[in-house]
Chain A
Amino acid sequence: MLTLECPYCGVKAEETELTPGYEAHLKRFGPGSSDDDFESYMFARKNPKGVHFERWRHAYGCGKWFLAARCTVTLEVFGTYPAQLGEPPADIIAKITAKRPGWEGYK
Chain B
Amino acid sequence: MTRTGPGRMFDASHMPQSALGGAVFDGFARVQEIGPLGMISLRCALDHPACPAAVQAAVGLGLPAQRRIIMDGQRAVGWMSPDELLLILPYADAAAALQRIAAALDGVHHLAVDVSDARAVFRITGPRADQVLTKLCPVDLAALAPDELRRTRAAQVAAAFWREGDGYTLVSFRSVAGYVMGLLSHSAQRGSELG
A63 CB contacts on chain B under 8 angstroms: 81, 84
- Residues of chain B contacted by A60 (CB below 8 angstroms): 151-153, 158
Residues in chain B near residue A76, CB distance under 8 A: none
Q: Which residues of B contact A62 (CB under 8 A)?
A: 80-82, 84, 151
Residue of B nearest to A3 (CB): B138
CA A16 – CA B82 in complex, angstroms?
Answer: 21
CA distance A21 to B80 in the complex (A): 22
What is the CB-to-nearest-CB distance from A9 to chain B, in angstroms, rounded to a whole number? 6
Q: Is the interface of A mostly helix, strand, loop or mixed?
A: loop
Main SS at interface, chain B? strand
Contact A17 B67 (CB under 8 A): no
Contact, CB under 8 Å: A64 / B152: no
- Indicate whether B66 reaches chain A with its CB closer than 8 angstroms: yes
Taken together as a complex, chains A and B put the C-alpha atoms of A61 and B158 apart, in Å, by 8
B150 contacts partner chain A, Cβ-Cβ < 8 Å: yes
Q: How many residues of A contact B (CB 8 A)?
A: 12
Whether A16 and B81, one on each chain, are in contact in the complex, defined by CB atoms closer than 8 angstroms, is: no
Closest B residue to A82 using CB positions: B82
- Provide the bound-state CA to CA distance between A62 and B149, in Å: 11
B141 CB, nearest partner CB in chain A, Å: 13
A9 with B81: in contact, given A14-B138, A16-B138 (CB under 8 Å)?
Answer: yes
Known contacts A60-B153, A62-B81; decide if A11 and B138 are in contact (CB<8 Å).
no
Q: How far is the CA of A9 from the CA of B158 in the complex (A)?
A: 16
Q: What are 13 A-B contacts with C-beta separation under 8 Å?
A: A9-B66, A9-B67, A9-B81, A10-B66, A10-B67, A11-B67, A11-B150, A11-B151, A11-B152, A16-B138, A17-B152, A61-B151, A63-B84
| Interface, chain A (partner B; CB < 8 A) | 8-11, 14, 16-17, 60-64
